[in-house]
């Protein structure tokens, strides 16, 4: 692949992550892949209603297999099988702000799962429940991807990861890459949708300390 964007910290590729041959030297994978739920947003607005590869978990699972048994943090949902090598599940508490869910039930969704794979994580032992507000839900409020994750959550996760290059094979609008750059870490990202490559490149070119949301 030819880099779509590159600076002293980050290299971003436009293409299919399963074709990436730059896996040697990667210290950790932190990624928010398609969950396999065939999600279609009911929100009106300028953002796409769905993302590529979300029909099932095959793209996620193929990439995990290609990556190998190194340390990884992978976002997901209880509605689909977890990766086979999952050692622990972290709960991202979204503070009650995560869609409507099944309207026939008297509860609404307020969390997402993060799967811990591999070994080598560091830092003090803290709770497996991580409370961070999500990104605003509408493009008019600054959202740039239908499945954005907050950069401060991703930075927190990276503080528990071994030193070295960070891989995000489903880079979306570049949040993991921004989080890594904010921490002075090298990062490699791949995104299949060029519109999000453009967004990620724009965010990364603005420098560090971007605490906005991202996928």
**Phi, psi for residue 35 in degrees, rounded to 5:** -75, -20
Q: How far apart are CA 126 and CA 84, in angstroms?
A: 24
pLDDT, residue 98, reads 61
For 132-155, the pLDDT digits (tens) are 988 865 544 455 656 779 999 999
Q: How far apart are CA 42 and CA 61, in angstroms?
A: 27
In whole angstroms, what separates CA 116 from the centre of its chain?
13
DSSP H/E element including 203: helix 194-205
Binning pLDDT at 50, 70 and 90, where does residue 123 land?
very high
Binning pLDDT at 50, 70 and 90, where does residue 25 land?
confident
Q: Is 19 helix (H, G, I), strand (E, B) or coil?
A: helix
Binning pLDDT at 50, 70 and 90, where does residue 51 land?
low
DSSP-derived secondary structure for 25-69: TEEEEEE----SS-------SSS-S--TT-SSSHHHHHHHHHH-S
Binning pLDDT at 50, 70 and 90, where does residue 214 land?
very low
pTM: 0.88
- Which of 212, 23, 53 minimizes the C-alpha distance to 136? 212
DSSP H/E element including 182: helix 175-182
């Amino acid at each position: 692949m030819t880099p779509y964007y590159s600076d002293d910290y980050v290299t971003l590729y436009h293409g299919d992550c399963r074709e990436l041959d730059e896996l040697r030297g990667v210290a950790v994978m932190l990624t928010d892949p398609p969950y396999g739920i065939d999600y279609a947003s009911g929100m009106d607005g300028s953002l796409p209603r769905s993302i590529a590869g979300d029909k099932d978990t095959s793209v996620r699972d193929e990439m995990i297999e290609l990556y190998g048994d190194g340390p990884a943090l992978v976002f997901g949902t209880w509605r689909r099988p977890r990766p086979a090598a999952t050692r622990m599940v972290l709960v991202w508490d979204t503070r009650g702000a995560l869609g409507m869910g099944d309207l026939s039930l008297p509860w609404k969704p307020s969390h997402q799962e993060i799967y811990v794979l591999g070994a080598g994580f560091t830092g003090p032992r803290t709770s497996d429940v991580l409370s961070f507000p999500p990104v605003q839900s509408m493009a008019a409020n600054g959202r740039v991807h239908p499945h954005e994750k907050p950069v401060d959550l991703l930075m927190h996760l990276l503080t528990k990861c071994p030193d070295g290059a960070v891989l995000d094979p489903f880079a979306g609008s570049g949040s993991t890459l921004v989080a890594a750059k904010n921490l002075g870490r090298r990062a490699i990202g791949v995104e299949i949708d060029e519109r999000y490559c453009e967004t990620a490149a724009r965010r990364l070119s603005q420098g560090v300390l971007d605490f906005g949301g991202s996928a």
